[in-house]
Amino acid sequence: MSTSGMSKGFARKAALAYLCAGVLCIVITNVYALFGHGIRSDAMDFMFLYPTVGGGGFLGLCLLLKRGEAASGFRFGFNAYNSGLAALTAGALLQGIVEIAGTGSGLIKYFFIAGCALCATGSAALYRPGGVK
């Protein structure tokens, strides 16, 4: 593990995980649309952007700012951010299912609130100069 930044092995594994999550989101969207008689939802169509752009952008920013595993608070920040992306992706999936079913739910907004809060917490923990102590 490098103290000057993220190791190449970790970056490769993280990038592959984000890419696989994005592909899985695309597959789920298309299979659900197939069984939903062709009805589609924007929330579900664009849910792949959370892991690919959000995850890839986050990883790119980590590499650019040379924040690596050795940085204080890296693991907490990385885990919180990933949990936020998972909540946002799950919220988009559920929102799409509800829209396709033609109903509504007031509880789905809490996925987005929790996801944004976790992403903000993870980013703040990772990018503040001293890290988490």
21-64 pLDDT, tens per residue?
Answer: 999 999 999 998 888 777 888 999 999 999 999 988 888 777 77
pLDDT tens-place string over residues 61-74: 777 776 666 566 77
Neighbours of 112 (CB within 10 A): 14
Tokens encoding 28: 């789920």
Whole-angstrom distance, CA of residue 37 vs CA of residue 22: 23
- Domain ranges (residues) in the chain: 8-127
pTM of the full structure: 0.84
